[in-house]
Amino acid sequence: MRSDFLLDSGSRVRRIGLGTMRMADRPDQRAGLSAPIWAPPTDRHELIDFLRGAAAAGVDMFDTADAYAFGAGEELLAEALAPVRSEVVIATKIGNTRPSPHEWVPVGRPEYLRQQLELSLRRLRTDRIDLLYLHRIDPTVPLADQLGVLDEARQLGMVGAIGVSGVDAAQLAQARALAPISAVQNNYSIGDRTHDDIVELTRAAGIAFVAFFPLTLGPAGDDPRVAAIAAAHGISTTRLALSWLLHRGDHVLAIPGTTDPAHLRDNLAAAATELTADEITTLDSLLAHQETL
């Protein structure tokens, strides 16, 4: 199992990065699907220390978006990672708006995307974004117009590589026909394998599949087979879930989010957990088992 992946931007990154979406608001507001991701973090200094510790621990790919707390997430990464900026990859996303703490609305008008690109560059204190995603496709705007902004920025050297997020197979095919797509970021985990087909399509295309929410266990969390395999390796079930995900293909990366150093270390250790063929077969069969419940 490979421990790293070469992005089209020319950067080689470890396959377990860090998602920073929830580094916003108060610490007690960050759990669950109702987390607002709305205001700058109240514990900014503690998060800066954590992010620098993550980089020191080996994390070299950090993921954010302009929609996370209205750009405060990008500003946080810029400050925290300034001392090691040349040693890490920062991926961000544009194309999603936040009318309220409970709404995420795609806006893909080219003039808006150009503005958000410029703002992301400023907040990240850079003249080149390593990896830029179209956060969500706006169904009211031709996809060619949306990806055209990102691809033009790539050709001008403002962006190293471009990706798409939250796409289905048809959208991915359309996107690849319009621009050089280097990465797809979708939710994927042992507990939610909705995008199995995208994992296979990206494998065939030789592009990165970046899993967000990769620690979702779903019914697998209560499956005794999962507990038994984790116990055999002396690891947590979440580390097992991450290891399984990495075994899905050398092109699969994960960006689990945490602000706990112990959880971070456990997540990173998943890259060194080798599963047997029988164990992988057992874990792969969980989906069929779940569908019979």
Farthest-apart Cα atoms in the chain, separation: 54
Distances (CA, A) of 194 to 76, 166, 258, 274, 292: 32, 11, 23, 24, 16
Contacts (Cβ under 8 Å, ≥6 apart) of 85: 126
Distances (CA, A) of 142 to 175, 209, 229: 11, 24, 47
Residues 237/221, Cβ–Cβ less than 8 Å: yes
Angle at 165 between CA 263 and CA 98, to 5 degrees: 85
Give the integer Cα–Cα distance in Å for 37 and 73: 9
Contacts (Cβ under 8 Å, ≥6 apart) of 58: 14, 268
Helix (H) or strand (E) holding 81: helix 72-81
- Exactly one of 68, 112, 133, 188 is catalytic; name it: 68
CB atoms near residue 22 (< 10 Å): 21
- Does the active-site annotation cover 68? yes
Give the integer Cα–Cα distance in Å for 264 and 228: 23
Residues 241/189, Cβ–Cβ less than 8 Å: yes
Structure token digits, residue 181: 């797509």
Q: What are phi and psi of 182, to 5 degrees?
A: -100, -20
* 240-257: burial string, b at 16+ Cβ within 10 Å, e else: bbbbbbbbbeebbbbbbb
Q: Could you give the 3-state DSSP secondary structure of residue 288?
A: helix
Question: Which residues are tagged catalytic?
Answer: 68
